Amino acid sequence: MFGIGFSELAIIALVLIVMIRPNDMPAFFRKMGRLYGQIKSAYKEVAAVKDEFLKEMDVAAAVQDSAATAANPAQAEASSAEPTPAAPAEPDSASAGTDSGASDAAANLPDSPPSDPID
């Protein structure tokens, strides 16, 4: 999850043994477990509040859309209709036999060279 391998965990364990006396280790890990539980429950609470907020926003948007549809059904149909895509351009019959790749590349070049940012 965090990219911590066995060697990193071994170093952390070694530092813990040096910093915390072996007699105090069970109490330390008990405190860390409680802290982890509190953090986990706080995260679940925040996630629940966020999900509730998003549901309320969805309901409000649906009510607003239904009110707009009831007020003006013609406008709602026009706004919900997807625009039709434009037809692809057909090549000219006069330029079909010539190599237009070079002229297309020249047409896409900028008028002036880009400024040098390292001035």
Reported as a single tens digit per residue, the pLDDT across 8-35 is 989 988 888 888 888 888 998 899 999 9
Q: What is the pTM of this model?
A: 0.43
Give the span between the Cα atoms of 39 and 45, in whole angstroms.
10
Q: Tell me: the pLDDT tens digits for 84-115?
A: 566 566 665 555 555 555 555 555 665 666 66
Q: What share of the chain is helix, strand, coil (3-state, %, to 5)?
A: 65, 0, 35
